[in-house]
Structures are given as structure tokens and as C-alpha cells.
């Protein structure tokens, strides 16, 4: 049912000052009225519930449907992959291009673009109820070996399908730009994996490729495996782990997970090592990652059958 707005309405049609748009306000965009329910939040690097003031949860007052309104927010920073520095820029226009390209594709969030009275490009995103990938993995009440034997074989094909979706973007000359475990949601009712958040842009598709390694580390390790945690759990690893076993993206994380979990198949570990500090041959296309992972699924099926 459509929601009833509060008694005294504040109607906003210019979203330039997104900080001034608060819970209970109504935003009008191209004739559609949205009741703001609050700011979206995310937790990263151990900091929980950081508000994203330019991203609002809202209800369409006509339909009663929940949407995410992404307002114009300009940001520029550099990310580092090993010795490489990558310039990252937020681009509402690029996210609009992605939304248009992936319309109807189940591996991606869905939405549309609209402009407020001042021409700001607002993205109206369909709300996806569910958990992000890492939260889902951590919700499974099992230890790593049981997780790897019983849950991981079902997770891997979904990760492969998700990365095939990224390949579609690359074929169109676009990137995701911010591939992270919390930007891959698992829809509650359907179990469908869906990418979200496409507003970061880099003129460097390899950034997506390297970021895919972080997803693989997360799903193989059942979360993030640091050198410190691995050695605390198994002190003998102190003499076996080296700097070359680290992730290129995050040097404190172990990418050579077969050393920590010996039951990880060698072929799958070879894929992980392509994202490690000791790598000699890099992936330069997401399709190469996917092809190798599909080979790994066959190895996993064979090992389970025997």
C-alpha cells in the first residue's frame, strides 16, 4: 500500500544539497514523489554503519515501492594495486550507462535515471532485500572445512555467473569500478546474486580484474584471512608463509590459501595465486578468470564424487 506522508511536508525538487535532504522530506523528480526514509549505510575497514548522505532510501508515494535514490556526489581518489596507482572518479553518467546496458539482466541491480529541476542526474534503484556476500558467508554456522565441502561448491557457480556479468560490461567498454564483497548482494527470496553500485569509474578495466581476486579470496577463505589470524590459529605457518603469498591488493591478507587450508584443490589455488604478490603471469581479462574458475568447478565435482 502507498505510504502516508508526515503531517507537514517538506518537498524538495533540487537535490544539489543532498546533506539538507532528511528523513521525512519528499523529493520530487520528473513528477514522481519519494518519501525519504533515511540515508543508506555501509561498513568498511572495521568502521560500521558509515552513512552515505548522497544515497537515500525512499518510498514511491504512488506505488508504495521502496527505492534507493542515488544523488549526484563528485569524488576523486587514487587506489593502489601493488605499485600501480589508479585514479577513481565518481560518475553518475557512467552508472546511468551501466543501468541502461544491464536492463533486465538478473545479475545486476535494476533502475533508471531521472533529472531533478536543476539537471542533477538521479539514479532511482529498485531495492534488493537480502545480504551481501560476506554477510551471507559469515551467517553460515560452520567451520571452514565443512563450509568448503558443503557450501562453497554451490557458491562458486554463482560467483562465476556474476563475473560473466562483469565480462558483459567490459565487452561494452564499461567497468564496474568498485567490485567488493558488499557490492554483490544475494536476493533473499530468489537467491540470485546481483551486482550493485556502478558509479565509480576508471579508464583501466584491469582494476575490475584485480578486484575480482578479492571476491575469490573472500569465498574460498570464508571471509578474509590475514597473516596474523592464520598464524594465531596455526603457529607452524609462521615459518611457511612468505611475502609472496600475500594479496597484491591487501598485503596483510593471505592469497595462497592452500597453505592455510590444505584441502583447497591445487587448481583453484593456482587461480588465487594469479592475484598474489608472487605472481609472474597476470590475468588481463575477466574472461580468463571465469574460464579458469569453470575448470575448477569440474575439479570440485570430481573430488566430491570420489
Residue 80 has pLDDT above 80, yes or no: no
Mean pLDDT of 97-110: 98
Domains of the chain: 1-71 (no CATH), 130-305 (1.10.510.10)
- Based on its alpha-carbon atoms, the radius of gyration of the chain, rounded to whole angstroms, reads 21
Question: 50 - beta bridge partners?
Answer: 42
Task: Give 303's pLDDT tier (boundaries 50, 70, 90).
Answer: low
**Helix H or strand E encompassing 209:** helix 206-221
Task: Give 164's pLDDT tier (boundaries 50, 70, 90).
Answer: very high
Task: Give 2's pLDDT tier (boundaries 50, 70, 90).
Answer: low
Answer whether 0.75 is exceeded by the pTM: yes
pLDDT > 90 in the chain, percent: 82
* 196 HSE (CA, 13 A, CB side): 25
Task: Give 94's pLDDT tier (boundaries 50, 70, 90).
Answer: very high
Burial class (CB in 10 A: 0-12, 13-18, 19+), 276: buried
Contacts of 162-165 spanning 24+ positions with Cβ under 8 A: 162/107, 162/193, 162/195, 162/215, 163/212, 163/215, 163/286, 163/289, 163/290, 163/293, 164/107, 164/290, 165/102, 165/105, 165/107, 165/108, 165/195
Three-state DSSP state, 32? strand
Task: Give 7's pLDDT tier (boundaries 50, 70, 90).
Answer: low
Residue 143 has pLDDT above 80, yes or no: yes
Measured between alpha carbons, how far is 207 from 175 in angstroms, rounded to an integer?
A: 9
| Average pLDDT score, the chain | 92
Mean pLDDT of 108-136: 97
Measured between alpha carbons, how far is 246 from 233 in angstroms, rounded to an integer?
A: 17
Residue 302 has pLDDT above 90, yes or no: no
Contact 123, 111 (CB under 8 A): yes
Residue 1's pLDDT is 45
Amino acid at each position: 500500500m502507498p505510504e502516508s506522508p508526515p503531517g507537514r511536508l517538506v518537498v524538495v525538487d533540487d537535490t544539489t544539497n543532498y546533506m539538507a535532504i532528511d528523513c521525512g522530506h519528499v523529493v520530487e523528480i520528473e513528477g514522481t514523489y519519494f518519501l525519504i526514509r533515511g540515508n543508506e549505510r555501509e561498513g568498511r575497514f572495521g568502521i560500521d554503519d558509515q552513512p552515505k548522505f548522497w544515497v537515500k532510501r525512499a518510498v514511491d508515494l504512488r506505488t508504495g515501492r521502496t527505492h534507493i535514490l542515488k544523488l549526484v556526489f563528485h569524488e576523486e581518489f587514487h587506489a593502489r594495486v601493488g605499485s600501480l596507482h589508479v585514479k577513481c572518479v565518481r560518475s553518475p553518467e557512467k552508472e546511468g550507462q551501466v543501468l541502461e546496458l544491464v536492463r533486465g539482466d538478473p545479475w545486476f541491480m535494476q533502475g533508471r535515471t531521472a533529472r531533478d529541476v536543476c539537471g542533477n542526474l538521479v539514479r532511482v534503484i529498485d531495492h534488493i532485500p537480502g545480504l551481501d556476500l560476506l554477510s551471507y558467508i559469515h551467517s553460515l554456522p560452520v567451520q571452514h572445512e565443512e563450509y568448503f565441502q558443503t557450501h562453497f561448491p554451490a557458491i562458486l557457480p554463482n560467483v562465476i555467473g556474476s563475473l560473466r556479468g562483469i565480462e558483459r560490461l567490459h565487452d561494452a567498454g564499461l567497468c564496474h569500478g568498485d567490485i567488493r564483497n558488499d557490492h554483490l548482494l544475494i536476493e533473499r527470496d530468489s537467491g540470485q546474486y546481483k551486482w550493485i553500485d556502478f558509479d565509480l569509474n576508471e579508464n583501466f578495466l584491469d582494476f575490475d580484474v584485480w578486484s575480482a581476486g578479492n571476491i575469490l579470496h573472500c569465498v574460498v577463505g570464508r571471509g578474509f584471512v590475514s597473516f596474523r589470524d592464520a598464524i594465531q590459529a596455526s603457529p607452524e605457518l609462521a615459518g611457511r608463509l612468505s611475502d609472496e603469498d600475500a594479496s597484491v591488493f591487501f598485503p596483510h591478507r593471505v592469497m595462497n590459501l592452500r597453505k592455510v587450508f590444505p584441502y583447497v584443490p591445487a587448481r583453484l589455488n593456482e587461480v588465487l595465486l594469479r592475484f598474489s604478490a608472487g605472481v609472474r603471469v597476470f590475468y588481463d581479462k575477466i574472461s580468463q578468470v571465469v574460464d579458469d574458475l569453470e575448470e575448477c568447478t569440474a575439479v570440485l565435482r570430481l573430488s566430491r564424487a570420489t
